[in-house]
Structure 1
Amino acid sequence: MVLTRRAMLTGGSLAIAGLVGCGEEKEKANSGAVDDVTYVTGFNITGQDSFVFAAIEHGWYRDAGLTVKVVPGVGTRGNLQRLKEGNAQFAVIDLTGGLLEINTGTFTDFRVFAAIYQSTVSCIVALPAANIHAPADLAGKRIGYSEGGVNKTIFPAYAQLAGLDESTVRWVALPPPSIRAALVAGQLDAATEIVVGRPAVEAAAKQRVTMLPYSDVVRDLYGNALGASTDLIRNNPGLVRRFRDATLRGLRWTIDNPDEAGRIMARHNPTYRAEVAAAEVRETVTYVRGNAPHVGHLDEARTNRCIALIQGIGLIKPGLTPDRVAAFDLAPQT
């Protein structure tokens, strides 16, 4: 289990910790002390994760007094388990998936604090041979998914709003690294994916693919966000801010410099092709920027609308409030 020295300190209450000013945090970051943290990606390590490697290579984490170990994620539920067990300090959490986990009571001791994507990037992908062009075409099809992945978790909302009978889908559970390979090999008709993963899927399949984005029918849902345990947020908000700022700096730089970001990704992950990573970065730009005033923006009113939408189709019980899923006091202001 990877622990940080500061991350596990039990300082004062959240209110007291909130009094720590930016100047004091900079002093800590520049004191020469370094905090080792583990960051879990959303799902595997793909081109969309180039921004964290950019922040590492450019020294922005070092400047913040951090060294960051990047490990591949396994979807929202698995990532939340890692936070709960203390095996990671920060993880990518799909905000909608997080709400559904809170609703069931499985995972409740976490909060997101900065949005990566301003809208959901969940989708279903299929090769041309499957003859899938619309949600109705998924009836009777074999769809690969990973247990705990948000694409499967929120599929009922997508199906309901798209007019598809979810019970007609034949789900095939697979480990995260196996899903794309199984799709390309023809062992599946379709698979859960992210829309920004199109270049990597097409590179593996060597042909164009069909994607059915959830955002076409499920409106106003945030996508991935940066998350941490409530203990870390309560006891060490300064560490969260330092990680947040360095990470978002990497994200801003990456969407402005996709080709160089792709090369950085390939240097840190030699099996990944730089041009594929760069193409994936370009796919993320509209999702990162959205209509938000700045990168990472997390809005309480919009989060409330997300909750209302999911509650309206019966996926969560009444009473869940935005502060149960997000630490808005730690959300970036610029």
Structure 2
Amino acid sequence: MSRLARTVATLAMTCTFVVGCGNADDQQQTSSNRPLEKVTYLTSFGNFGRDSYAWVAKDKGFFREAGLDVDIKPGSGTGDNLSKVEAGAAMFTPVDLTGLLLARGNKGAQSITVVAGIQQRTMAAIISLEGNGVAAPKDLEGKKLADSPGSVVRSLFPTYAKLAGIDATKVTWVNGAPANLIGLLAGGTVAGIGQFVVGEPTVESVAKGKQAVVLPYSDVMSDLYGNVLVTTTKIAQEQPDLAKRFIAALMKGLVHSIDNPDEAGRILQKNVSAAAAAPAAAECTLMSAFVRPEGSGNVVGTIDTERVARSIKLLQDADAIPAGLAPDQFVSADLTPKP
């Protein structure tokens, strides 16, 4: 081949390479410049460490990688969160599955669909402090407890009381906002509050010098799930791609939070000025056993419909909900992560 021919061939190859690279760059730029889809999200209950995984997913860029711009707002418990999602004020939120079952049993939450599991067993509990005369469930009789009206802890209390041998009529409940509950307990206004078991470090950080007393609902109701991620049936059916991307990004944030609790605590504090990093990290550490309980496998977010069916039967046997409810009426098998 002559020198001229070799030069022409080299130039042709170079031009082809540049054009090809230019097209790839253009495609990548176009993809990266695609407008992010807006998603509204409510935390389960305020902004405690147990909800830091959403902030982690946002801070680490997991939502953005999924093409989503997520607006995170503090939730107020299962009942209020369900109402807001049904009303269109939010697109996704974690709620306690038992609270959802109770709502469905009372003909509520009809447009709600479960799309992922957050905690594979319930974290609902009553938390008191040493010196309040509460060491066992029966000790709650004659005491004043505080919680928000829509909280699953409060909604489920009659069933818990029945199974734990408590006379629920001898327990007084008063209303309290999520952010104020621990202060009510630490200040001695009430003898106990509705909380998740992972709230123990946060309670002790506020009630300085006093040890928390935790009465987990799971002691008498072992089959119950904890929080599950829900959306509307309309979104699940008409925007499944968006739902799948959101679920995957949120589960990535959940895994990162329980695997890196100290970082999760710092991220929460950076984004929520009222949050304290150390108690938040401690909550993430405790929550790990509920997100990945022994024998649950490595995939986070799964839902076992047979367990859901057993939960329904437990509530029916306790006369908490009527017959006729089945998992396939509100759990999306197409969207929930697979084991």
TM above 0.5: yes
Select 2:296's aligned residue among 292, 299, 302: 292
CA displacement 1:173-230 (0-9 Å, x = unmatched): 2222222111111000111111011111110001211010000111200000110011
Select 1:226's aligned residue among 211, 215, 229: 229
Q: Tell me how far apart the structure 2 counterparts of residues 31 and 214 of structure 1 sit (CA, whole Å).
A: 48
Q: Tell me how far apart the structure 1 counterparts of residues 265 and 77 of structure 2 sit (CA, whole Å).
A: 23
CA-CA distance at 1:324 after TM superposition: 2.1
Select 1:137's aligned residue among 139, 159, 172: 139
CA-CA distance at 1:29 after TM superposition: 8.1
Q: Tell me how far apart the structure 1 counterparts of residues 31 and 214 of structure 2 sit (CA, whole Å).
A: 43
Range 109-118 or range 265-274, more displaced: 265-274
Tell me which residue corresponds to 2:7.
none
Secondary structure in structure 2 of the residue aligned to 1:130:
coil
Structure 1 residues 29, 288: CA separation in 2 closer, same or farther (over 3 Å shift)? farther
Q: Tell me how far apart the structure 1 counterparts of residues 31 and 114 of structure 2 sit (CA, whole Å).
A: 22
- AA at the equivalent of 1:319: G
Q: Tell me how far apart the structure 2 counterparts of residues 325 and 160 of structure 1 sit (CA, whole Å).
A: 27
Tell me which residue corresponds to 1:19.
none
State the percentage of identical aligned residues: 39
Tell me which residue corresponds to 2:6.
none
- AA at the equivalent of 1:292: S
Q: Tell me how far apart the structure 2 counterparts of residues 62 and 279 of structure 1 sit (CA, whole Å).
A: 27
Select 1:326's aligned residue among 307, 328, 331: 331
Q: Tell me how far apart the structure 1 counterparts of residues 135 and 32 of structure 2 sit (CA, whole Å).
A: 54
Tell me which residue corresponds to 1:163.
165
Tell me which residue corresponds to 1:8.
none
Say whether 1:236 aligns with 2:243: no
Say whether 1:283 aligns with 2:283: no
Q: Tell me how far apart the structure 1 counterparts of residues 330 and 138 of structure 2 sit (CA, whole Å).
A: 33
Select 1:193's aligned residue among 192, 195, 206: 195
Please tell me whether the aligned partners of residues 113 and 332 of structure 2 are also in contact (alpha carbons under 8 angstroms): yes
Q: Tell me how far apart the structure 1 counterparts of residues 328 and 158 of structure 2 sit (CA, whole Å).
A: 25
Tell me which residue corresponds to 1:173.
175
CA-CA distance at 1:234 after TM superposition: 1.2
Tell me which residue corresponds to 1:39.
41
Say whether 1:214 aligns with 2:217: yes
Q: Tell me how far apart the structure 1 counterparts of residues 42 and 55 of structure 2 sit (CA, whole Å).
A: 12
Please tell me whether the aligned partners of residues 29 and 65 of structure 1 are also in contact (alpha carbons under 8 angstroms): no
Tell me which residue corresponds to 1:118.
120
TM-score norm. by structure 1 comes to 0.89
Mind listing any 5+ residue stretches in structure 2 that lack a counterpart?
1-29
What is the number of equivalent residue pairs in this alignment? 307
- AA at the equivalent of 2:89: N
Q: Tell me how far apart the structure 1 counterparts of residues 199 and 232 of structure 2 sit (CA, whole Å).
A: 28
Range 136-145 or range 265-274, more displaced: 265-274
RMSD (Å), alpha carbons: 1.4
CA-CA distance at 1:31 after TM superposition: 6.8
CA-CA distance at 1:30 after TM superposition: 6.0
Q: Tell me how far apart the structure 2 counterparts of residues 168 and 158 of structure 1 sit (CA, whole Å).
A: 14
CA-CA distance at 1:142 after TM superposition: 0.2
Range 170-179 or range 45-54, more displaced: 170-179
Tell me which residue corresponds to 1:6.
none
CA-CA distance at 1:333 after TM superposition: 1.4
Tell me which residue corresponds to 1:25.
none
Tell me which residue corresponds to 2:312.
307
- AA at the equivalent of 1:301: E
Secondary structure in structure 2 of the residue aligned to 1:248:
helix
Structure 1 residues 29, 305: CA separation in 2 closer, same or farther (over 3 Å shift)? farther
Please tell me whether the aligned partners of residues 123 and 217 of structure 2 are also in contact (alpha carbons under 8 angstroms): yes
Select 2:54's aligned residue among 26, 40, 52: 52
Secondary structure in structure 1 of the residue aligned to 2:131:
helix
- 1:13-92 aligned within 5 A: 32-92=34-94
Please tell me whether the aligned partners of residues 258 and 287 of structure 2 are also in contact (alpha carbons under 8 angstroms): yes
Say whether 1:100 aligns with 2:102: yes
Structure 1 residues 297, 29: CA separation in 2 closer, same or farther (over 3 Å shift)? farther
Q: Tell me how far apart the structure 2 counterparts of residues 278 and 130 of structure 1 sit (CA, whole Å).
A: 27
Please tell me whether the aligned partners of residues 47 and 275 of structure 2 are also in contact (alpha carbons under 8 angstroms): no
Secondary structure in structure 2 of the residue aligned to 1:227:
strand
CA displacement 1:24-54 (0-9 Å, x = unmatched): xxxx986712111111111111011121111
Tell me which residue corresponds to 1:146.
148
CA displacement 1:148-180 (0-9 Å, x = unmatched): 110011111111111111111011122222221
Please tell me whether the aligned partners of residues 35 and 65 of structure 1 are also in contact (alpha carbons under 8 angstroms): yes
Q: Which protein shows a greater Rg?
A: 2
Mind listing any 5+ residue stretches in structure 1 that lack a counterpart?
1-27
- AA at the equivalent of 1:228: T
CA-CA distance at 1:106 after TM superposition: 2.3
- AA at the equivalent of 1:316: I
Please tell me whether the aligned partners of residues 29 and 63 of structure 1 are also in contact (alpha carbons under 8 angstroms): no
TM-score norm. by structure 2 comes to 0.88
Please tell me whether the aligned partners of residues 311 and 318 of structure 1 are also in contact (alpha carbons under 8 angstroms): yes
Please tell me whether the aligned partners of residues 252 and 295 of structure 1 are also in contact (alpha carbons under 8 angstroms): yes
CA displacement 1:92-151 (0-9 Å, x = unmatched): 111110011011112211011111000000000111121100000000100111111100
